[in-house]
Structure 1
Amino acid sequence: MVKKNAGRHIQPLTMREIMRLPSLKGSNVIAGISGLDHGVTNAMIIEGPDVEKWAKPGLVLITSFFALEPLGEDDRRGFFQKLQEIDIAGIIYKPGRLVSDAIDTYLAICDRAGIAVIQMDSSITYEAVLMDVMGTVIDANFSLLNTFYDIHRKTIKLAVEQPSIHEITVRLKAQTGYDITYFDRTGNVRISTDPKRNRFESIRFEEFYYPHYQGFHYFNARIMHESGDEEDAIALLVTLQSGAPSYVIVHKPPAEVSEIDRMVIENYASLMLMELLKQEAIDQELFSRNNMVVHDLLQNRYSSHDEIDDAVRKLSIDAHRHYQVMLLRVAITDSSRSNQTHDLFSTFSRRIKQLYKNAVFSESGDRIAFLRNHTSRSVGFDRAAVTGVLSDMQADPALAPFTYLIALSDSTDRYSIEKIYGQVMGINRLFDADHLANRCISYGELGIFKFLIEAGDLSYLATYVDPRLQQLERDNPEGFKTLALLCECNGDFNETARRLYVHPKTIHYRVNRIRERYGIDVHDSNDMAQILMAGKLAYLLESC
């Protein structure tokens, strides 16, 4: 399809071009010839030196310099210095009113500063020049406004059709001639007008700014493709209410994209944002509904098998006999970003849904639980795939730094989901974030520790704890905690000291004192087993 806006740029009126206006016929450049291509946005007659109060970039000053006559030499130089700093377009000079011979000095300063000075015919009035310049500027702006209106009208017409993201990228390409890719960084979703372009390995964003016509954050996107080729492209940041970053990537270097093309791109990016926000609202409503249904399934809030059948049917997880629960708990390690837990869960859940279409989830506080429906031949959630997703997330600087614990249940039928949810919640209670990080544990791996989870009355189990350890916990809670953590760390004194923020010698001292007073020896395998069990039980009792 032929590009409709190819080669169309917004051509600003320049100092060179205003010399062709009727009122400036016969004018000539008397200084600053290097500044003739400066763009003109406005014009004003000046008879006062306080230029910093009213001048703007692109302004043409129409003057006789008479207002500078009372000023000293330093103030006159300061006046031209201000003009250079403001970046005016140039000066139209009308001769005849200067008493002094300072004009040569003015022209020399303008030459050095690159400020174009055009000398007009002294018989022409200021008003005639002003009307010519401003009339041309207004005509150019009117043409620009018409172009914008035409682009906006076409975009609104497309919006009525409620297009998909793919349709928007196709229409945008038709308008600009450039390939377009929509990139959802959180979910790693890529929709492109050229399938080859969305198979990139990495992308690096560096923000830059345009002086005009910018309604989005713009980035120079450095894209590395699977082939090893690199390309520069423009990327517009499209931020949803959830804060998830998405980008509209225009596969063209920034310097080669015209201003009118940017108008088109901005309009279509706004349309894409509108459609994404609509979809996000639908997804949020669906999430809230499904979140409650999943939560009720996990907690066994349904009173009959028929209600459970109806719930799994609503969630579209009723195709197979078996169900498995996976629980993810995260701990953000940067306190300044502690409010970004939902961002982590949003990223994780999107990627898990890409791996397992028949999985639903329920989010609560610092954990999120997934329920998957699978066949008897399926292995359920794949440990390597799940931890791979989390490792990729930990390597992403856009996400808050975190540690995690993954708990995997056994498999069961739909009427016993509460039981396997209890398994992952038991693992969650059994291992705190300080003692276990970045681990994936299945219920089947717990071995003897299962009885701590499955026991109904934990306080009754406390009667089986070695009396020496019961006494130690009453007399010296800090010493009891030290022994329990040392056993968790497989007898590593240095790691235990690091976690307790003390010196290793302090750990040795505590262990020796406890052995002398209570007869508990961490080097004895029987005592170590007793300490491990007592420590786990104490932690479970605290968390209940």
Structure 2
Amino acid sequence: MILIKDILTMPSMKESHLLAGLEGIYKEAGNISVMETPDFESWVQPKTILLTSLYATQDFSYNAQLDLMRRLARTDISAFIIKTEAYVKKVPQGIIEGGKQCGIPVIQISKHTSYNAVTYDVMQALFNEENKTLNYYRAMYEKFMTISLDGEESESIIQSLQDIINRPVTLYDDSENAVIPSQHSVPFQLDTDTVRAESLNDYLMAYDSPKAYTMIIRLDELKKMYLFVSTQKQNLTNNEKIAIHVAASFIKLNYVKNLTIKEKRQQKYLQSIEGLLHHTGLSFHERESRLAFLGMSSQKKFLVIIADNNSSSDSKALHHFDDRLTLHLYGKVKLIKFRIQENRIAVIIEGSARDMEKDLYHRLTTLFTPDFGICVGISELVDPALNFPKAYTQADDALEMGKHLYTEQEKNIFSHMELGIHRTLYNLQKKIALESYMNPKLKKWLDTDHSNKDEMLTTLMVFLDEKQHYKNTADKLHIHWKTVKNRMLKIEELTGIHLNNPEEALDIHVSLKILGFKKAGL
């Protein structure tokens, strides 16, 4: 920066005299202008050197001269250069006294010194200084750009900044916790009420206090960080501020870069899961590659489960399921989750247990009782060809069948493997009308209005499920075994079926399964 003491040594100022404001010679000069009117407040800029012959103020009284200097002080000018022997023979005493009181350097130049010469020397010095500043800015930009392009994180930016300015630098988060601490950092303190803010651009704000220089870096609409430079009453140079500003910009850039990388990776992550679960046209190598990207090995065993909150309006149930599943299975298996809808989530589970299906089924039924509000469908083991779409369909089918075949209070975890003949019926009904395959004798009886028909059908179903064992059926239904026998005899009499015929008994059993299947709305 160019200081007033530097101005005094310029060729055009060789015959100048400093009359007042010695302490102000270390003020920074930012511009030079001619003032020949008393209404300077509307146009004068801070850090301006004012050149004047006092033409407009030559008749001012002592007090008016003092007032003029106080008004100039309020505009924060750097120096007041007065050319004498044009309109005033010497600098008035009120101007000199005002310069002393306000700390404004009052400099006298002779009539032989031209305004043009002084202006040229000052502007040339300011131009050279600005050129140095731009070159330094470019050097800092290139330095921090190199760090960023090398893939370094904000820690490297902070360390480089500390090396450049040789001051403690600390990066704080929104909660004023030190994200990247300095070895000699001081506690974070920012009083925005008493320290004037300097807005550098849309995302950088600077606060210059006696003990610290603080940059507020707005990362996005909600998140910000604080770059805190301890100064301990030692003013920063312009170059040091430039280095801080550029470092802050690259911390912002680093955040945006990392956020973009994270979003791209997350997008690829979701695409990999979606491809595995839904794209039937993927080759084995493509499926293997996607597994590897997800951190899984094609040499392990896999299951797919689908969970939903059972049409509940409580969206928290699925979050609780996610959390509990992760905590309970952490370290035992690897989980990859994929949210299908707001109330449904799919999970790929990688493991190596011998009875992985049974083990998972047992764990889930223990973890998530029906009152938890979650229903889960479990696939069979993914085949060696890594046919994940098939496993996804199995889990989906198990979930849909289970929710229809059982009430919420009875059961909420459904394994595709354990659904038995319902798997076959579910797939068949997609192609044919299952009613046409029901036993005609049973179907005819179903069309009658027998008073105990529902009770007798239930007894017949349990009787066939229990392999025609009277006592087991009676125990399940809490009736006497002779009651079971009488009901079976009555059914044979009414329908003409023969349960002692294995083929006909199987046909009746399948027909009852179809009946239950259709009653469930499948």
**TM-score after normalising by structure 1:** 0.48
Report the 3-state secondary structure (helix = DSSP H, G, I; strand = E; otherwise coil) of the residue aligned with 2:270. helix
Give 3-state SS (helix, strand or coil) of 1:291's partner: helix
Higher relative contact order (CA 8 A, sep 6+): 1
Are 1:288 and 2:267 an aligned pair? yes
Aligned to 1:431: none
Change (3 A) 1:154 1:313: closer
Number of aligned positions between the proteins:
365
Inter-partner Cα distance in structure 2 for 1:27 and 1:406: 90
Indicate the residue corresponding to 1:448 in structure 2: 409
- 1:131 positional shift: 2.8
Mapped pair 1:264 → 2:247: no
Distance 1:287 1:235 in 2: 31
Q: Is the Cα contact below 8 Å between 1:182 and 1:246 reproduced in 2?
A: no
| C-alpha distance in 1 between matches for 2:6 and 2:62 | 33
The answer on whether the counterparts of 2:2 and 2:28 sit within 8 Å (CA) in structure 1 is: yes
Q: What does the per-residue CA deviation read over 1:386-444, in whole Å, with 9 as the maximum and x for residues that have no partner?
A: xxxxxxxxxxxxxxxxxxx997968765665568789999xxxxxxxxxxxxxxxxxxx
Displacement of 1:66 in angstroms is: 0.7
**Structure 1 residue 239: Cα displacement:** 2.2
What is the CA distance between 1:58 and its match in structure 2?
Answer: 0.6
Matched, 1:124 2:113: yes
Which of 23, 29, 35 is 2:12 aligned to? 23
CA contact (8 A) 1:180 1:248 kept: no
Distance 1:36 1:368 in 2: 73
2:262 paired with 1:301:
no
How far apart are 1:106 and its partner, in Å? 4.0
> Would you say the 8 A contact 1:162–1:275 is kept in 2?
no
The answer as to whether partners of 2:217 and 2:226 remain within 8 angstroms in 1 is: yes
Separation (CA, whole Å) in 1 of partners of 2:313 and 2:178: 24
Q: Report the Cα distance in structure 2 between the residues aligned to 1:203 and 1:409, rounded to whole angstroms.
A: 50
- 8 Å contact kept, 2:51–2:82: yes
Task: Write out aligned runs for 1:4-153 (5 A).
Answer: 11-14=1-4, 16-25=5-14, 27-69=16-58, 80=69, 82-98=71-87, 103-153=92-142
Question: How far apart in 2 are the matches of 1:316 and 1:153?
Answer: 37
Deviation by residue 1:472-517 (Cα, 9 ceiling, x = unmatched): xxxxxxxxxxxxxxxxxxxxxxxxxxxxxxxxxxxxxxxxxxxxxx
Deviations 1:31-55 (A, max 9, x none): 4455443221111222233423431
AA aligned opposite 2:51:
I
Q: Which amino acid letter does the alignment assign opposite residue 13 of structure 1?
A: L
**For the Cα contact (< 8 Å) 1:183–1:246, is it kept in 2?**
no
% same residue: 15
CA offset digits 1:368-399 (Å, max 9, x no partner): 9574645489999xxxxxxxxxxxxxxxxxxx
Q: CA deviation at 1:125?
A: 2.5
- Deviation of 1:62 (Å): 1.0
Question: Aligned AA for 1:291?
Answer: L
- Mark the CA change 1:110 to 1:411 in structure 2 (over 3 Å): closer, same or farther: farther
Q: Distance in 2 between matches of 1:114 and 1:291?
A: 67
One-letter identity of the residue aligned with 1:290: Y
The 1:409–1:116 alpha-carbon spacing in structure 2 relative to 1, beyond 3 Å, is: farther
**Residue 129 and residue 165 in structure 1: after superposition, are their counterparts in 2 closer, same or farther (change >3 A)?**
closer
Q: Does 1:217 align with 2:204?
A: yes
| Rounded Cα–Cα distance in structure 2 between residues aligned with 1:323 and 1:183 | 43
| CA displacement at 1:213 relative to structure 2 | 7.1
Worse overlay, 155-164 or 202-211:
202-211
Trace 1:92-491 onto structure 2 (pairs within 5 A): 92-98=81-87, 103-158=92-147, 161=150, 163=152, 168-169=157-158, 171-177=160-166, 217-218=204-205, 234=214, 237=217, 239=219, 245=223, 247=225, 249=227, 252-253=230-231, 258-295=237-274, 301-303=278-280, 312-318=291-297, 321=302, 360-362=336-338, 369=345, 371=347, 373=349, 375=351, 448=409
Match of 1:62, SS? strand
Over alpha carbons, which structure has the higher Rg?
2
Query: How far did 1:93 drift?
Result: 1.3
**3-state secondary structure, aligned to 2:120:** helix
Superposed displacement of residue 453, structure 1: 11
Change (3 A) 1:293 1:154: closer
Distance change in 2, residues 1:153/1:301 (3 Å): closer
Residues 91-143 of structure 1 deviation map (CA, whole Å, 9 limit, x = unaligned): 01122344699934444444444433222234323233323333333333333
Aligned in 2, Cα 1:285/1:372: closer, same or farther, shift over 3 Å? Answer: same
Answer yes or no: is the 8 Å Cα contact 2:374–2:412 preserved in 1. Answer: no
State the AA in 1 paired with 2:294.
L
**8 A Cα contact 1:291 1:361, kept in partner:** no
Higher strand share: 1
Q: Secondary structure at the match of 1:448?
A: coil
Q: Summarize the Cα distance change of 1:96–1:154 in structure 2 as closer, same or farther, 3 Å threshold.
A: same
Q: 1:102 to 1:162 in 2, by over 3 A?
A: closer
Which sections of structure 1, spanning at least 5 residues, go unmatched?
1-10, 222-230, 333-347, 381-404, 426-445, 457-544
Contact 2:199 2:205 in 1 (8 A): no
Q: 1:292/1:93 Cα in 2 relative to 1: closer, same or farther (>3 Å)?
A: same
Change (3 A) 1:76 1:287: same
Aligned to 2:470: none
* Code of the aligned partner of 2:112: S
Partner of 2:129, secondary structure, is helix
Cα deviation, residue 59, structure 1? 0.5
1:57 partner amino acid: P
Query: 1:436-474: per-residue Cα shift (whole Å, max 9, x none)?
Result: xxxxxxxxxx972866999x9xxxxxxxxxxxxxxxxxx
User: Match of 2:278, SS?
Assistant: coil
What RMSD in Å do the two structures reach over aligned CA positions? 6.0
**Which runs of no fewer than 5 residues in structure 2 stay unpaired?**
316-322, 361-371, 383-387, 401-406, 416-421, 423-522
SS at match of 1:55: coil
Whole-Å separation in 1 of the counterparts to 2:302 and 2:139: 57
Amino acid at match of 2:204: H
Paired letter, 1:217: L
